[in-house]
Structure 1
């Protein structure tokens, strides 16, 4: 029940921030991938509307937002993560940089999370 309350509170605060115009749209997002089997990480920048392969999954970025008053602060990115072979979708939704476990990719081998948005 606490997790549900936290998710709802976070969702309300994100929606309120966007409704008040306090968020800016980024041109791309910096993501980090982890291969849980061998412990390797990979950072990669994906433009909004683009896709890239991180280890064994394809990540598509629909949108990336960040606080207008703190560009290096908390980023929110809408990602779709899928299998490159059969297009099975593993994740489709918003990920929050400061709380990656709040809405995380559920994959047995790979993990992907948002680091930040970029505006250049």
Structure 2
């Protein structure tokens, strides 16, 4: 699938954001840059599952870029392979065939 639907949480402000990321194109969430390397969805006859391979890096205030997470995340089991970061949480919600014009939402 060419698009991953991701959700992020800023633990400082307690705001969540849902955003789409095209495979191979970097997206920003706070100080993080996330690149989805692959996004796969189970066939309709299998139990529902979406999984994405993410590469996340943080740009620090001194300009250095630090790797934060690299690996598969599963929509049905976000805790199985979670990104551990003191400020941000990011997890996979779904994989899609196409984006819906960079839809983004926030909750308080």
Hey, what's the Cα distance between the residues in 1 that align with 2:80 and 2:31? 23
Name stretches of at least 5 consecutive residues in structure 2 with no aligned partner: 99-108
Count of residues in Structure 1 that have an aligned counterpart in Structure 2: 94
Name stretches of at least 5 consecutive residues in structure 1 with no aligned partner: 1-25
Which structure has the larger Rg over C-alpha atoms?
Answer: 1
User: Contact between 1:79 and 1:93, CA under 8 Å: does it hold in 2?
Assistant: yes
- Larger helix share, 1 or 2: 1
Hey, what does 2:13 align to over in structure 1? 38
- Between 1 and 2, higher relative CO (CA 8 Å, sep ≥ 6) is seen in 2
CA RMSD, 1 decimal: 1.5
- Larger strand share, 1 or 2: 2
Q: So what's the TM-score if we normalise by structure 2? A: 0.81
Structure 1 residues 18-62: Cα deviation after superposition (integer angstroms, max 9, x where no partner):
xxxxxxxx1110000100111101111011111100122111100
